[in-house]
Each structure stands twice: as structure tokens, then as C-alpha cells.
């Protein structure tokens, strides 16, 4: 078994995130970026992409529920904007850094040296994978408590700064007012290796493709598509 596993201080990791594990294997998987397997092909736990997929859904549900209860008089549009601000990859990456998650993620030496957007995406994906692991290991209530402690606690900061009103948010408010519909986003193309995926995203008004954008995450591509759509519609 790779030496790295023995160097992972699970008790320190549990303390950092405030969760006690039952199935430790889930957390090893959650901490493993795909690139790590290139250097440690015998790693028995796999990588974190399936857990990320699950954790993304759990995160969105928990945040949606919390916002629905906290703002009983707010329209769907505002709730959607607030949720998007809380689950975007840049905020999740900062949360991962603040909780020290970056110290525990297993990745290739090359990825470990990266300090750009790709690193932010890795951190954001890891926190989503961790949420997926908590959900499978401890259930939805434990996941919700984790999300409240680390993600929802940022809500006041987002409300004060108005940072939830990015290009995507501005486009949504404008089109809901003008056309009484909500813009939708679709992945038009994915390219690049698994650890450096690039996404081409289309923004639609109904069935009409309005603009396209590219980014190193779906969210980044959506924001770029929204910015270009705003240029066309203002």
C-alpha cells in the first residue's frame, strides 16, 4: 500500500473538518485527485470524481433547503442567485483552504505545484467529494451540519458584499424581468485531460442559444456565457 496513506493523519483530518469517520476508505477516496493515480497506480481507494458527483447534489439540496427556510418571502430568482454564490468553485476553494483541506488532498507532484484556477477547481471538487463521503458514511443530517458550519456560514458575507450578483445573476434578473423566464445553461463540449477539463457552455433563453462561454469549470463557463449574453441583450 502506498506510503502516502500511512502519512495521512486521519485524526488531524477529522479534527480539521469536525467529523468522526466510520468508513475511513470513503475519506481516502474523497481526498484522492485523479492525477495521484498516475504516480501511485496501486492506490486501492480510487479517485474522488464519483463522490464529487454525489456531494455536488447533496450540497445543492442542503443549501437550497436552508435558503428556502431562511428567506420565506424571497422569490425563486434571488434564492437561486444566493445558492449559486454559495456553491461556486472559487468560494468552495477558499473554504477548503481555510479548513486546511488542501494539506490532506492527494494529487500528483505537478498538480501540487499549480497555484492557478486548476488548483481552485481541485480544492472545490475535493470539498464536494468530502460532502459525498460524509453523506454515505454518516447520513444527510451530518452532511447538512457540515455544510452549515463551513458553507452557509459565508452567507452574511455574501449578502453584505452583494457578490452574489455576478454576470450570471445580472442576466437572470434582466431576463426574468423582460421575458418572464430563467436562462438555462448546457454543456456543449468538454475537452482536455481529466485533471484539466475545459468546458464550453451555452446559455439559452428557452430553446434559443444566445451565447457561449468557456472555462475550467462548468460554473466558470456559465459566467463567461452570461457575460457575453449580457453584451448582446443590454
Domain boundaries defined on the chain: 3-161, 167-233
Euclidean distance between CA atoms 176 and 200, whole angstroms = 24
Q: Which of 52, 56, 166, 224 is catalytic?
A: 56
3-161: CATH topology is: Ribonuclease iii, N-terminal Endonuclease Domain; Chain A (1.10.1520)
Euclidean distance between CA atoms 172 and 230, whole angstroms = 10
State residue 86's pLDDT score.
93
How do residues 68-105 score in pLDDT, each as one tens digit? 999 999 888 788 888 988 998 889 999 999 998 888 88
128 is catalytic: yes
HSE-CB of 140 using CA atoms within 13 angstroms: 8
State residue 5's pLDDT score.
44
Q: Which of 52, 111, 128, 222 is catalytic?
A: 128
Is 16 within 8 Å of 100 (Cβ atoms)?
yes
pTM of the model: 0.72
CATH architecture of 167-233: 2-Layer Sandwich (3.30)
The residue with greater pLDDT, 84 or 183, is 183
State phi, psi for 151 to the nearest 5 degrees.
-105, -55
Give me the count of residues in the chain. Answer: 234
Which residues touch 203 (CB under 8 Å, ≥6 apart)?
171, 183, 184, 185, 209, 210, 211, 212, 213, 222, 225, 226, 228, 229
**Mean of the per-residue pLDDT values of the chain:** 88
Does the structure show a pLDDT above 90 at 189?
yes
Euclidean distance between CA atoms 211 and 141, whole angstroms = 39
State residue 220's pLDDT score.
85
Residue position matching grid coordinates 481555510: 98
22 is catalytic: no
Amino acid at each position: 500500500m502506498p506510503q502516502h496513506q500511512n502519512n495521512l493523519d486521519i485524526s488531524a483530518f477529522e479534527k480539521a473538518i469536525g467529523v468522526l469517520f466510520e468508513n475511513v476508505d470513503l475519506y481516502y477516496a474523497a481526498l484522492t485527485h485523479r492525477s495521484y493515480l498516475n504516480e501511485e497506480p496501486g492506490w486501492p481507494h480510487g479517485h474522488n470524481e464519483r463522490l464529487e458527483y454525489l456531494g455536488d447534489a447533496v450540497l445543492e439540496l442542503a443549501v437550497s433547503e436552508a435558503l428556502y427556510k431562511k428567506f420565506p418571502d424571497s422569490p425563486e430568482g434571488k434564492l437561486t442567485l444566493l445558492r449559486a454564490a454559495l456553491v461556486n468553485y472559487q468560494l468552495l476553494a477558499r473554504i477548503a483552504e481555510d479548513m486546511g483541506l488542501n494539506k490532506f488532498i492527494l494529487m500528483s507532484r505537478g498538480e501540487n505545484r499549480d497555484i492557478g484556477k486548476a488548483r481552485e477547481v481541485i480544492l472545490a471538487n475535493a470539498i464536494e467529494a468530502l460532502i459525498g463521503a460524509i453523506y454515505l458514511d454518516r447520513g444527510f443530517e451530518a452532511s447538512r451540519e457540515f455544510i452549515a458550519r463551513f458553507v452557509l456560514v459565508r452567507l452574511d458575507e455574501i449578502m453584505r458584499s452583494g457578490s452574489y450578483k455576478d454576470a450570471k445573476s445580472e442576466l437572470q434578473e434582466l431576463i426574468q424581468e423582460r421575458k418572464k423566464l430563467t436562462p438555462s445553461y448546457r454543456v456543449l463540449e468538454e475537452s482536455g485531460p481529466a485533471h484539466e477539463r475545459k468546458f464550453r457552455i451555452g446559455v439559452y433563453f428557452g430553446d434559443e442559444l444566445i451565447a457561449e462561454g468557456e472555462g475550467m469549470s462548468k460554473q466558470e463557463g456559465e459566467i463567461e456565457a452570461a457575460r457575453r449574453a449580457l453584451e448582446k441583450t443590454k
